[in-house]
Amino acid sequence: MSPASPSKASARTLAVLALVAVVAYSADQFTKFLVTTNLTVGESVPVFGQALVLYFVKNSGAAFSLGAGYTWIFSILAAVVVVVIVWFARRIRSRAWAIVFGLLLGGVLGNLTDRLFREPSFGLGHVVDFISTPWMLPAIYNVADICIVVSMALFILLTLFGVNLDGTRTTRASERAAQEAEDREAEADAATLDPAEPGDVSPDAGRQ
């Protein structure tokens, strides 16, 4: 591998991350635009009976409307998450992980945009939620929430399958081999520190 390969890999994965984030963010904001311009708050429109309902609400809290009185805290936390993802992105070499962080970034930015620029004020804006699936979740959510949940599910899967940020894969066999190598290295270090040699004879040997 040439010295330029890592930087090229980083550029490709960053491009994937950015593209996924832009698509996720755009889909979230576009669907929210359609909802806010065609529905009134509290209005519901069945799409597939009660399996999928468009139900326009404004949420000042987190998921399940928790912490409704602490909108500004969620705004700060979301901004921190965005900064951490952007900073962390340079370590990613795997396209799968780029998709994970791209979905997370797009989703967090989508809801953060609502909190910053929607009513009632900057940093205290209410998030637009409109997707209701009562058979699956007792909550109303949006596209940004879906992106965040999917990114978390992919995060768990990649972790379980041992996929690292650089695209390599950690298996039990490789873990055992690494552990055995460490054990051998530790034994070699111990042997070099031991002053006794196999052929050494104690100075008191042969004394009666």
Specify whether 183 is catalytic. Answer: no
Neighbours of 111 (CB within 10 A): 26
CA–CA distance from 32 to each of 95, 119, 122, 176 (Å)?
A: 28, 14, 18, 50
Q: Which of 114, 129, 189, 204 is catalytic?
A: 129
CB-hemisphere CA count at 13 Å for 206?
3
Burial 18-37 (b: 16+ CB within 10 A, else e): eebbeebbebbbebbeebee
Neighbours of 131 (CB within 10 A): 19
- Tell me, yes or no, if 145 is annotated catalytic: yes
Residue position matching structure tokens 């519901």: 44
Decide if 122 contacts 37 (C-beta within 8 A): no
Gyration radius (Cα) of the chain, Å? 27
Burial of 205 (0-12, 13-18, 19+ CB in 10 A): exposed
| Dihedral angle computed from the Cα positions of residues 137, 142, 146 and 152, in that order, rounded to the nearest 10 degrees | -90
- Supply the residues annotated as catalytic: 129, 145
